[in-house]
Structure 1
Amino acid sequence: MEFGKIANIDAVNFTLPPGNPFNATIWAGAESTTRPSVFIGGPIWANKE
């Protein structure tokens, strides 16, 4: 196996563990928004210029 690569992806378990109960308390107090702000961009170290 090469670092970061696998020969057969069928053997990989991609399921996520159960969420932490603390997160439910945080989300319960969060305000709802109709238009969230989303910022997309690459990290500076990925810029090859």
Structure 2
Amino acid sequence: MAESDKVKTTIYMTPETWDRLILYIRDKYGRDTKATSITIEEAVKEFLEARVTA
């Protein structure tokens, strides 16, 4: 899929939500960001899906 074909979405988060996102990524993938190939986009998507289903 070409970059121009992707749908862009803006998500506004409070500082507290950003903190929870960072903790979620650290808990799930560890602190060594080089050890995983997950992108920020994928992590945010997983985080938001987990919050919706919780």
Superposition TM-score, scaled by structure 1 size: 0.24
Superposition TM-score, scaled by structure 2 size: 0.23
Which structure has more relative contact order (CA 8 Å, sep 6+)? It is 2
Structure holding more helix per residue = 2
Q: Which has the larger radius of gyration?
A: 1
